[in-house]
Amino acid sequence: MMKKTRFWILLLTAALGASAALAATITVLVQSTAVRKRPQFFAPAAMIAKLGDTFDATGPDNGWYKTGRGYIHQSAVSSKKIKLSAGSTVAGGGGATAEEVTLAGKGFNSQVEKSYSAQNASANFAAVNVMERRSVPEVAVLEFLRKGGLLPREDAQ
């Protein structure tokens, strides 16, 4: 009896692993990320996904999930089931997952940074803000790559 039970558990576990690779609901965990027309970093963006957006997706295959709108890199999303209560708060006490913490904006957040900054006057957050504002739009990065002969020939046209 134990042997049969073990067999079924193994079979179900294998099925779970396989199905997770086939289909999932993915949630964006970064502020914004490109959904690309092809699963390549230099492929044009079909749309920009924002923090908390969800997609039905298959994969990941070589790091990319395939959605109905295009391809999204696995580093931008989580395929874990995320439960948030109303008002963007972390539910369930100390068992909150890292994904829930991100989506709720809890954990180490701007409130904690403000408190830390007040206690550490020498920490140069103003210079960090300047650094962050230097971010270059993706279209300009692709142009930089193209001009520098860094895109594959067919994509450089």
Partner 1 sequence: MKYWKPAAPLAAVLICGCAALQNLDVNSMTGGRVSNEQFQSATKVATAVHHGVADISESEEYYIGRAVAAQILSRYEPLDDPALNLYAQKIVQAVSMASDRPSIYRGYHVQILKSSEVNAFAAPGGFIFVTTGLLKLTRSEDELACVLAHEVAHVAKKHGLKTIKTSRLTSAFALLGTEAAKNYTSSQVAQLTDVFKGTVDDVVNNLVVKGYSRDKEYEADKFGAQYARAANYDPRALTAFLHRMEAADTAGAGGMFKTHPKASKRIDELGTLSPSADYRPSPVRERRFKAAMTL
Burial class (CB in 10 A: 0-12, 13-18, 19+), 67: buried
Looking at residues 76 to 95 of the shown chain, list those that interact with partner 1 (rule: CB under 8 A): 76, 79-81, 85, 87-95
Least distance in angstroms from the C-beta of 74 to partner 1:
9
Does residue 75 interact with partner 1 by CB under 8 A? yes
Does residue 48 interact with partner 1 by CB under 8 A? no
Q: Which of 24, 27, 59, 60 binds partner 1 (CB under 8 A)?
A: 24
Does residue 35 interact with partner 1 by CB under 8 A? no
Least distance in angstroms from the C-beta of 1 to partner 1:
9
Give the residue ranges of DSSP H helices in 23-124. Answer: 98-104, 110-119
Burial class (CB in 10 A: 0-12, 13-18, 19+), 132: exposed
Does residue 73 interact with partner 1 by CB under 8 A? yes
Q: Which residues contact 28 (CB under 8 A, 6 or more apart)?
A: 49, 50, 51, 52, 53, 54, 55, 72, 76, 77
How many other CB atoms sit within 10 Å of the CB of residue 16?
Answer: 10
Does residue 61 interact with partner 1 by CB under 8 A? no
Least distance in angstroms from the C-beta of 69 to partner 1:
16
Does residue 54 interact with partner 1 by CB under 8 A? no
Helix%, strand%, coil% for the chain, nearest 5: 40, 25, 35
Least distance in angstroms from the C-beta of 76 to partner 1:
3
How many other CB atoms sit within 10 Å of the CB of residue 111?
Answer: 10
Length of the chain, please?
Answer: 157
Does residue 23 interact with partner 1 by CB under 8 A? yes
Does residue 99 interact with partner 1 by CB under 8 A? yes
Least distance in angstroms from the C-beta of 78 to partner 1:
8
Does residue 68 interact with partner 1 by CB under 8 A? no
